[in-house]
Each structure stands twice: as structure tokens, then as C-alpha cells.
Amino acid sequence: MEMDLCAPTKGRPREFDIDDALAAALRVFWSKGYEGASLTELTEAMGITRPSLYAAFGNKESLFRKALDLYEREKLAYMRAALDAPTAKGVAERLLRGALASQCSECEPKGCLGVISSVACGAEAEAIREEVIKRRQSSHKALVERFEQAKRDGDLAADADIDGLTGYIFAVMQGMAVQAGAGAKREDLERVLETSLMMWPGR
């Protein structure tokens, strides 16, 4: 199903670019949240009508999931890349700098879609919320494993609390996201980042 490769080329071709439309939808979800983004706002931003949206993406929830895929693929790439840093502190630094760049880009919504979508919501969005939380857990797990490697490498102390460190670095990133979404200036978050980095043990 959905074999979009080798387009069918039968019938009238769609008049909009599906990737552009999805990117536009992502921006709306990113700034308003799942529930806060109405179909009217979405279709206006995407430049298409409601039936076109439903034909191309299924429904609102499935559109959000596709937007979330795009977000993780493009905007959260820094997370995977950060794990390649040579030391634990290097990983932390790349994570924080990547979060800052992603949350404070000039031409995109402030904050983090994952944070926005994982906080409290109405009943209808509960399924979305749980999915976002589940996806975050896999990132969490990857960072735990990277820090375990760091402990073996010796750049984390043998008695370091790895779960604590992982939760901590996520907390700083999430806190930055909250503040970015609340209108904090980029330089404010830069100082938060530097402060946190300064405290990180070792090098």
C-alpha cells in the first residue's frame, strides 16, 4: 500500500506538492499543538482544501503522525548525530547546541513539537500524546546506551548515575523548549546552555 514510487500517472494529477503541504502542516502543529491546530488553519497554511487533505493524508491524526515523522527525521537529526561525539560531555554539548538551534531557528516555530505534544491535552488527543511519549523513550534509551559506553570509555566516572544524567540532560533540553515556546530570546537560552555545560563534570 502507498506505493508512491513510480507514480500511477493515471487520472488527474494533484495540483500541490505533497511534501510542501506536509511541511506547512508541520509548522502549524509545531506552533499550535495538535489540538490547537484546526483544520481551517491547516488547510489555509497548506494551500489546499479539506477534501484534498483527507485524500492525501487520511485524517487529522494521520496527518499529524506524518508531520511528526518529518519532524523527527529533519529537526531531530542532531540527536542521532550527537551520539557520535567522542566523549560524554561532547554528546551533552551537541545535544544542547542542537536543541538550541532547533528551538530558536529564525524561520521556524519556537519550541519543540515533542514537548508541546506530550503535555496535558483533551481526551481526543490522548493517543497522540502517548505516541509522542513512546517515541521519546526510544531517544532516552539511545542516550542511556551512549552514556554506558562513555562509562566503559572512562569519560564518565564508574559510579556516575547514568539514568540520572540522561534524565537531567533531557530535562535541560525540555526546559529550554518550554522557555523558547514562551518567548525567551535566543541569547537567554544560550546562557542557560553555557551554564549547564559549565557544570558538566569532566571534559
Partner DNA sequence: CCATTTCCATAACGGACGGTATATAATGTC
Partner DNA sequence: GACATTATATACCGTCCGTTATGGAAATGG
Distance CA 68, CA 61 (A): 10
Distance CA 103, CA 186 (A): 9
Q: Choose the stretch contacting a second copy; rule: CB under 8 A; options: 14-22, 60-68, 86-94, 179-187.
A: 179-187
Site string for a second copy, 120-159 (x = CB under 8 A): xxxx-x-------x--x-----------------------
Helix axes 60-74, 50-57, angle to 10 degrees: 60
Instruction: Report what 49 binds from a second copy, DNA, none; CB cut-off 5-8 Å by kind.
Output: DNA
Instruction: Report what 60 binds from DNA, a second copy, none; CB cut-off 5-8 Å by kind.
Output: DNA
Nearest Cα residue to 16 out of 38, 58, 44: 44
CA within 13 Å, CB half, 88: 25
Among 22, 63, 150, 184, binds a second copy (CB under 8 A): 184
Q: Choose the stretch contacting DNA; rule: CB under 7 A; options: 35-43, 128-136, 144-152, 172-180.
A: 35-43
